[in-house]
Amino acid sequence: MATTADFKLGMCIEMNNDLLLIVEFQRFQSGRGSSNVRSRLKSMNTGKIFEHTFTGGEKIDIARIEKRPHQYLYKEENGFVFMNTNTYDQVTLEDKMVENADLMKEGEMIHVIYHADKEIPLHIELPQFVELEVTYTEPGLAGDTAKNALKPATLETGAEIKIPLFVNQGEKIKVDTKNRSYYERVK
């Protein structure tokens, strides 16, 4: 048994017969009262994110989870197929378990998060940055030097993001998978 003082981002807890991933949390104290912890939790069963407030020192059950390296193979009608790079076992995950699927290329290395006690895959974790080619974007206009001006672009995986005006079609870029934003050009 742990308490809310042990909260960390990415920690998985068991509550109301559900596994919940801590997406965000903030400790606060109002006046002379006890401290509380406001949190955003993601249900591993439904994929929904909701807010919950815990009282300070409340007991919680921590679920033991493991990250295992996998390679993304392909998409089929009932989900995405990944291969464990250590055991060569294949696992198919439903669409709701795979966030930002349009940023994954076939053959890319990712981590699948498993519930260690039950050996159940929960969700995937993409690398922080992925390198993708811009397959379509409008050309930047000469002399358009507005600060932080962005234009829409389609990437090789079909993902659509906003990129700076100076990036052209055919160039490779790094994309931040956490917020789906342009990071830098790849040389």
**pLDDT higher than 80, residue 186:** yes
- Selected residue with higher pLDDT from 31 and 126: 126
CA distance 39 to 41: 6
- The reply to whether 129-185 shares the fold of 2-62 is no
> CB-based contacts of 7: which residues, under 8 Å, 6+ apart?
22, 25, 37, 39
Average pLDDT, the chain: 89
Give the DSSP letter of residue 56: T
Q: Is the pTM of this model over 0.95?
A: no
Tell me the fold of 129-185: OB fold (Dihydrolipoamide Acetyltransferase, E2P) (2.40.50)
Model confidence over 93-140: pLDDT tens digits? 988 888 889 999 999 999 998 888 888 888 888 999 999 999 999 887
Tell me the fold of 65-125: OB fold (Dihydrolipoamide Acetyltransferase, E2P) (2.40.50)
How large a percentage of the chain has pLDDT more than 90?
A: 52
Q: What is the pLDDT averaged over residues 155-159?
A: 93
Looking at residue 182, its pLDDT comes to 93
**pLDDT higher than 70, residue 144:** no
How large a percentage of the chain has pLDDT more than 70?
A: 96
CATH number for the region 2-62 comes to 2.30.30.30
Looking at residue 54, its pLDDT comes to 92
> CB-based contacts of 43: which residues, under 8 Å, 6+ apart?
18, 19, 20, 49, 50
